[in-house]
């Protein structure tokens, strides 16, 4: 049955909450009611601008009096004729588009806009502002001689005889309308003159056959013109506007013939002057609207745009009768709109304010088998709060009592039923008192925008509903923290717990800070207590040697059952068991009830409860302790409470429980907050369930200082929308002794303070009982850390692991320091002080990888591969041919440093005979440098390829012979000398000057390249090499081979070897000797044998470069000057042997795989003597006697 009830409630909730959901989606807009301006548009029935202005001013004044901002907006231009269909359409269009939010609009009484059609556009009709009115015509009795010609209908004036009787003289006719200046118009082209009116063409001023018809305005005049033309009436129409009433009374008083048509003529004028109503002509059956039908002045609002129940309430109550309208218009013309509106509002106070009723639902568990709270006591306190409310204010505070029976279904059902009944007047819900029902109701508070007041200790609702709940009795979760502090002080680390579903939210076992050895949660509330399940729980606790037993429940029946089960299991205070029980229990909570399933007596239960501990807020303890020493005001309140309590039950109401006093305080605070809000914002009474209103009420309650029966209220939380405000009060730990509770400690904000009394333990030795834990080898450590043995072992393991990790970290840190020291030494050896990006560093030369395109391979070097390609160096320069030198994958740190050191050196060079660095790519792999492209490659291959031209093997053209001329060879040597001079000026030593490291450009300009071994020299003008590696021994000076010292002078020695390579067209120095033999020969003071046929000047230059004493050698600048003075100094000398590249007969390149063959051909592209150009000087290789020069 309960299952079907839940399903029915869920279906009802979906239907009811669907409407709330749409309103809730617009809550952000509705929260701006007080800031937005409500635009009001008014159109009068009679078309009068004064009437429309007066009505609009009245509506604006009424809205402002209600606390809203409002202003009038002019009617559309189509409303020159107020009853015209075009006017209605224009006003409705303005309402739908939000130009106006409210309007007074004339509509046909028989055919008003359909209500469903209005709702489709978000419009709502609020009734009529005035009684319906119609265009009526009246005539005075004719003169006595013609009484037989009394007109009965307006159509009777088709008789010119009758029409003559209602002629007016020039004195009677309004100024501007005389027989001589009347505007006679044809009906086919009828025109209206605001001064002279309208006179049909058959009304001749000579025979004077037409009567004069007086009317209010042009709108009505045009209606009458259609009738005159249709039925050929002898009538002249004149519109007098506001003068019609006065002119009609004057003419009637003078017994002058009077014919008039109006919608707003005073009834008193008609009765006093015996003006008879004329029958109006019938309307055609084809006409949709008849102008002579009654019209209503309908009140319309755009509820979607307006979103203000207060405005709708004011508009709905606003209504005038004919006399009030005439007085309003009269005052409007005399005193202005504001004075006229205020005077009318003063006669109708109900329009802008009424004595409303605000309800607060109080949910109380009355008809329930649970023994949790005293329902009669709570009901008495709630009714007293209603009685003590200020009845002289503008609002009545009412309390609606509801029996929820501690059931979520009944509490939720009331909220669903309230949606269709008194929901608008319901300002909040106090309760429920039971935890499960309170949690379910609080979760629905955001949907309903319904504040929920907790008058018993509860846990805060989820974050989505936190801002709509107020925990007047405090946060029940703090009880767990207080217990955790006390058990930690007592070194109790094992706790057994018995709880129920109602306390699940308040019991946070994680915050207990102890091991939960047994935890049983009882199912949802029912009529019967699960005694068998509680007995099994007690047996499990006893089997686990549990001593500290926490019973976290609300029902006193469960407490009695738990104590009885503990007695049966031997968990008695004398045996060392400590019971932690709830403090908020009914006064007779220990007395067995007739329906209790256990068999324990009151005496046994008292013995089991002796010495138990409980936690309660200080205000609750002080209320119970203050009963004897209460103030006169409190004593008077208690007497009144007792009187109210006796009305609801037959038994004696001995003591007012603390929760009853708290409920009274909560309702009084809520009543005061409501009155303060409505005083500042009267419109809130019409929309209590706006989220801003609910938030304002809760903020008022938690910020305004209040001191009630339970003391002064202090609050915690509420600073953020996700934190529920709760009453902040110290928690008192009490011990039960002989039916009274003694304070043994207090807890506030995480601090436990013992006293004033000390706990009295009922053990045999009177000592505090332990928690039943086993003793272990690490017990001293466990006691020190206030943990059990298992946790002590974990802590010890963690310490050992931490020490091990710390030792490993220390070793790793030491290794890192050593590696960094070696790294810095390497940087110093390379002349690199730092590699991090900085202004002026490599970062300035960085170019994106996508701007470099590689399209061919040029060769392979020690660090990687050299490619040819193009690069976009600048947007305005286009793509340039470049050479891209890449670092091979998996390069070591030293190789990376050597590679970057070359780029670091090249960025400083800017000379026409030095290969320029164009950019670097270092932020992505592989790292590469971008340099200018040299078309003819290295100088050695260039000379070898043209050796046959120098030998004169074939007849060549003059251009080909110029390639090997003395001028060309001397120019190439001069380019290299100038490059060395430039480096010497910058205090750089190249250390690898050779033909293979000189590149030839497209214009046959030689440029020095390969700066991988280039180093910066300092004050000693030399660089000492301290690392073993590949060195070009055949080009090195003696001091470099012997001492590892490099200087500009050693580069001059290498330049002399370069001159030998140039004149011999690429011949290998020391041909036929091994590297070891070359080392021994140079260290012995011997030099390279010069080829025959050299010019004496060149021979002397080369020998000066090969002086054993480095100081005797010329500098690079002197060599460049000497070569510049002798432009044809170098001539080919080919009488020297050539080195050869042996072929591998076991694996010809053309027979290998494509990858291996490509690699072999790349190696063939290198100089023929590449294998003998350098030697590897390292201790890893077999030692030679020639390695002794290494330091």
| Pairing mode, strands 211-215 and 259-262 | parallel
- CA distances 901 to 641, 1013, 1019, 1061, Å, are 95, 9, 21, 28
Query: Is there a contact between 160 and 209 (Cβ–Cβ < 8 Å)?
Result: yes
Q: Which are the contacts of 188, defined by CB distance < 8 A and separation ≥ 6?
A: none
Q: In what order do the strands lie in the sheet with 452-454?
A: 395-403, 356-364, 426-430, 452-454, 469-471, 726-727, 715-716
CA 124/CA 924 separation, integer angstroms: 69
Residues in the chain: 1191
Task: Name 795's Cβ contacts closer than 8 Å, sequence gap at least 6.
Answer: 781, 785, 787
Angle, CA 104 vertex, CA 98 and CA 110 arms, to 5°: 115
Residue 417, both tokens = 């039923």
Q: Return d(Cα 1113, Cα 984) in angstroms, integer.
A: 14
DSSP 76: P
Q: Which residues of 292-307 are buried (b: 16+ CB within 10 A; e: fewer)?
A: bbbbbbbbbbbbebbb
Residue 312 in tokens: 């709708």
**E strand or H helix at 103, and its extent?**
strand 102-108
- Is position 992 annotated as part of the catalytic site? yes
Helices (H) and strands (E) in the chain, counts: 40, 42
Contacts for 957 with CB less than 8 Å, ≥ 6 apart:
none
The strands making up 211-215's β-sheet, listed across from edge to edge, are 235-239, 211-215, 259-262, 136-139, 276-278
Strands (E), 490-547: 494-500, 515-522
Task: Quote the CA–CA distance of 825 and 316 in Å, as a whole number.
Answer: 92
Give the three-state DSSP class for 266. coil
The two three-digit tokens of residue 759, written as one number: 């706990």
| Cα 635 to Cα 631: distance, rounded to the nearest angstrom | 6
* Burial 884-905, CB ≥16 within 10 A → b, else e: bbbbeeebeeeeebbbbbbbbb
> In angstroms, rounded to a whole number, what is the distance separating the alpha carbons of residues 569 and 551?
16
896 annotated as belonging to a binding site for a ligand: no
Structure tokens at 1151: 């027979």
> What is the sign of the dihedral through the CA atoms of 728, 729, 733 and 739?
negative
Q: Are 299 and 126 in contact (CB under 8 A)?
A: yes
For residue 702, the tally of other CB atoms under 10 A from its CB is: 21
Residues in CB range of 171: below 8 A, 6 or more apart: none
- Give the count of beta carbons closer than 10 Å to the beta carbon of residue 1144: 9
Of 33, 686, 771, 992, the active-site residue reads: 992
Nearest to 738 by CA among 608, 606, 840: 606
3-state secondary structure 336-366: CHHHHHHHHHHHCHHHHCCCEEEEEEEEECC
Q: How big, in percent rounded to 5, are the helix, strand and coil portions of the chain?
A: 45, 20, 40
Q: Which residues, other chains included, contact 610 with Cβ-Cβ below 8 Å and sequence gap of 6+?
A: 573, 736, 737, 738, 762
Q: Which residues are annotated as a binding site for ATP?
A: 885
Q: Which residues are annotated as a binding site?
A: 885
Query: Could you give the residue numbers annotated as active site?
Result: 992
């Amino acid at each position: 049955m309960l299952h079907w009830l839940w399903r029915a409630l869920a279906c009802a909730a979906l239907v009811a909450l669907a409407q709330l959901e749409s309103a809730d989606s617009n809550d952000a807009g509705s929260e701006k009611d007080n800031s937005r301006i409500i635009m009001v548009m008014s159109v009068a029935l009679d078309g009068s601008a004064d009437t429309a202005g007066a009505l609009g001013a009245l509506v604006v004044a009424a809205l402002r009096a209600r606390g809203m901002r409002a202003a009038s907006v002019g009617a559309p231009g189509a409303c020159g004729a107020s009853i015209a269909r075009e006017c209605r359409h224009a006003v409705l269009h303005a309402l739908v588009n939000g130009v106006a939010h409210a309007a007074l609009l004339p509509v046909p009484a028989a055919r008003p806009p359909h209500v469903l059609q209005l709702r489709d556009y978000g419009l709502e009709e609020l009734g009529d502002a005035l009684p319906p009115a119609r265009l009526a015509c009246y005539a005075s009795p004719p003169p006595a001689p013609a009484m037989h010609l009394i007109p009965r209908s307006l159509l009777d004036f088709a008789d010119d005889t009758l029409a003559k009787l209602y002629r007016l003289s020039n004195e009677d006719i309004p100024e501007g309308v005389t027989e001589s200046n009347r505007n006679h118009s044809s009906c086919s082209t009828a025109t209206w003159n605001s001064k002279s009116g309208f006179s049909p063409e058959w009304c001749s001023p000579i025979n004077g056959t037409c009567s004069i018809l007086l009317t209010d305005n042009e709108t009505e005049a045009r209606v009458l013109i259609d009738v005159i033309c249709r039925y050929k009436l002898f009538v002249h129409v004149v519109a007098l506007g506001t003068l019609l009433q006065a002119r009609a009374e004057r003419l009637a008083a003078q017994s002058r013939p009077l014919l008039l048509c109006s919608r707003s003529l005073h009834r008193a004028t008609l009765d006093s002057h015996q003006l008879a109503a004329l029958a109006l002509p019938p309307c055609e059956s084809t006409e949709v609207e008849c102008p002579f039908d009654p019209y209503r002045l309908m009140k319309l609002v755009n509820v979607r745009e307006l979103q203000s129940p207060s405005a709708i309430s004011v508009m709905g109550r606003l209504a005038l009768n004919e006399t009030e309208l005439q007085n309003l218009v009269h005052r409007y013309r005399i005193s202005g709109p504001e004075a006229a509106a205020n005077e009318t509002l003063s006669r109708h106070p109900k329009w802008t304010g009424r004595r409303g009723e605000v309800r607060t639902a109080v949910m109380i568990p009355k008809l329930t088998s649970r023994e949790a709270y005293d329902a009669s006591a709570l009901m008495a306190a709630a009714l007293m709060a209603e009685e003590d409310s200020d009845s002289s204010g503008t609002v009545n505070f009412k309390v609606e009592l509801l029996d929820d029976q501690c059931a979520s279904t009944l509490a939720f059902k009331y909220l669903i039923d309230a949606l269709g009944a008194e929901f608008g007047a319901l300002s909040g819900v106090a309760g429920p008192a039971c935890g499960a029902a309170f949690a379910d109701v609080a979760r629905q508070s955001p949907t309903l925008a319904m504040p929920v007041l907790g008058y018993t200790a509860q846990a805060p609702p989820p974050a989505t509903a936190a801002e709509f709940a107020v925990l007047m009795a405090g946060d029940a979760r703090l009880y767990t923290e207080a217990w955790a502090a006390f058990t930690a002080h007592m070194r109790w680390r094992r706790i057994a717990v018995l709880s129920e579903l109602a306390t699940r939210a308040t019991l946070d076992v994680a915050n207990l800070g102890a091991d939960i050895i047994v935890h049983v949660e009882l199912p949802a509330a029912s009529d019967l207590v699960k005694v068998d399940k509680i007995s099994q729980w007690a047996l499990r606790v006893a089997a686990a040697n549990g001593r500290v037993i926490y019973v976290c429940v609300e029902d006193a029946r469960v407490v009695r059952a738990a104590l009885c089960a503990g007695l049966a299991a031997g968990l008695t205070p004398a045996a060392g068991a400590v019971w932690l029980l709830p403090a908020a229990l009914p006064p007779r909570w220990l007395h067995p009830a007739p329906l209790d399933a256990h068999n324990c007596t009151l005496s046994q239960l008292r013995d089991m409860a002796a010495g138990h501990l409980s936690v309660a807020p200080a205000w609750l303890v002080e209320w119970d302790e203050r009963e004897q020493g209460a103030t006169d005001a409190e004593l008077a309140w208690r007497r009144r409470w007792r009187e109210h309590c006796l009305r609801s039950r037959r038994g004696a109401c001995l003591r007012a429980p603390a929760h009853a006093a708290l409920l009274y305080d909560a309702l009084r605070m809520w009543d005061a907050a409501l009155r303060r809000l409505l005083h500042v914002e009267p419109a809130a009474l019409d929309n209590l369930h706006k989220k801003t209103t609910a938030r304002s009420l809760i903020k008022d309650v938690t910020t305004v200082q209040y001191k009630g029966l339970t003391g002064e209220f202090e609050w915690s939380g509420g600073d953020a929308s996700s934190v529920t405000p709760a009453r902040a009060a110290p928690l008192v730990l009490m011990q039960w002794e002989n039916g009274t509770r003694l304070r043994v400690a207090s807890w506030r904000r995480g601090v436990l303070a013992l006293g004033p009394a000390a706990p009295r333990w009922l053990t045999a030795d009177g000592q505090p009982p332990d928690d039943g834990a086993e003793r272990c080898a690490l017990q001293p450590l466990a006691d020190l850390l206030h943990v059990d043995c298992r946790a002590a072992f974990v802590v010890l393991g963690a310490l050992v692991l931490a020490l091990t990790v710390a030792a490993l970290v220390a070793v790793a840190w030491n290794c890192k320091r050593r590696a960094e020291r070696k790294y810095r030494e390497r940087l110093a050896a390379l002349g690199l002080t730092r590699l991090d990006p900085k202004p002026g560093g490599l970062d300035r030369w960085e170019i994106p990888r996508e701007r470099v395109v590689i399209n061919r391979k040029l060769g392979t070097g020690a660090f990687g591969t050299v490619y040819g390609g193009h690069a976009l160096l600048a947007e305005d320069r286009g793509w340039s041919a470049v050479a891209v030198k890449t670092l091979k994958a998996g390069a070591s740190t030293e190789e990376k440093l050597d590679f970057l050191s070359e780029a670091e050196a090249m960025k400083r060079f800017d000379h026409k005979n030095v290969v320029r660095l164009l950019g670097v790519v270092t932020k992505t792999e592989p790292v590469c440098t971008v340099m200018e492209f040299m078309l003819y490659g290295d100088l050695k291959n260039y000379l070898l390829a043209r050796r046959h031209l120098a030998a004169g093997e074939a007849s060549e053209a003059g251009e080909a012979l110029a390639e090997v001329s003395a001028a060309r060879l001397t120019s190439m040597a001069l380019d290299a000398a100038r490059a060395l001079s430039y480096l010497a000026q910058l205090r750089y030593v190249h250390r690898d000057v050779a033909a293979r490291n000189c590149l030839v450009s497209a214009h046959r300009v030689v440029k020095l390249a390969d700066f991988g071994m280039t180093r910066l020299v300092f004050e000693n003008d030399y660089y000492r090499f301290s690392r073993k590696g590949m060195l070009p021994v055949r080009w090195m000076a003696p001091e470099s081979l012997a001492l590892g010292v490099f200087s500009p002078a050693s580069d001059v020695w290498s330049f002399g070897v370069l001159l030998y390579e140039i004149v011999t067209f690429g011949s290998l120095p020391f041909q036929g000797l091994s590297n070891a033999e070359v080392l021994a020969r140079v260290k012995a003071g011997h030099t390279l044998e010069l080829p025959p046929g050299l010019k004496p000047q060149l021979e002397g230059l080369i020998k000066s470069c090969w002086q054993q004493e480095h100081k005797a050698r010329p500098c690079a600048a002197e060599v460049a000057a000497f070569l510049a003075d002798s432009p044809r100094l170098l001539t080919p000398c080919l009488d020297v042997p050539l080195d050869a590249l042996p072929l591998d007969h076991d694996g010809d390149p053309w027979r290998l795989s494509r990858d291996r063959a490509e690699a072999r051909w790349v190696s063939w592209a290198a100089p023929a003597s590449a294998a003998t150009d350098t030697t590897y000087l390292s201790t890893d290789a077999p030692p030679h006697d020639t390695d002794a020069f290494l330091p």
